[in-house]
Amino acid sequence: MTTTPAFDEIAENLSFLDDWEDRYRYVIELGQALPPLAETERNPANKVHGCASQVWLVTEPHAVNGETVLTYRGESDALIVKGLVAILLALYSGRTPRDVAETDAIPLLDDIGLREHLSTQRSNGLAAMVKRIRSDAMAMA
């Protein structure tokens, strides 16, 4: 399964942090670095269902060298969840719809030990975000 340099950098940074409190702080910092969505983008069409927190994802297709590439933007009202959004954006943005549809983030997040330290609600919400991103990509592929 392929990843992106941005995701690989996040995974590497997480691997250097021994304490999960430090890892949580890093994930929160990733989320805080995301630009906010416009108020109009926080709408029912962009809302991710299945998350306990409020989560919105925006999918933007662009033509690059004659090929469609997807860019994702997102936001959440919960700090850790916003960080999880940032990690998913790093994994999926800049890829073709087919690449996105074929990439399941869950095993990658398990490899870096992220999901084992999430509550059941957050883990379910993360799965809902991955499902939403991949289904949007499948519709465009």
Contact status, residue 55 vs residue 42, Cβ threshold 8 Å:
no
Tell me if residue 76 is catalytic. Answer: no
Contact status, residue 116 vs residue 93, Cβ threshold 8 Å:
no
d(CA 134, CA 121): 20
Torsion angle defined by CA atoms of residues 19, 107, 27 and 38, in that order, rounded to the nearest 10 degrees: -170
Q: Quick one: tokens of 137?
A: 């990509």
The DSSP output letter for 58 is E
**Residue 23: burial class (beta carbons within 10 Å; 0-12, 13-18, 19+):** buried
Q: Which of 30, 48, 51, 130 is catalytic?
A: 51
d(CA 6, CA 107): 17
Active site residues: 51
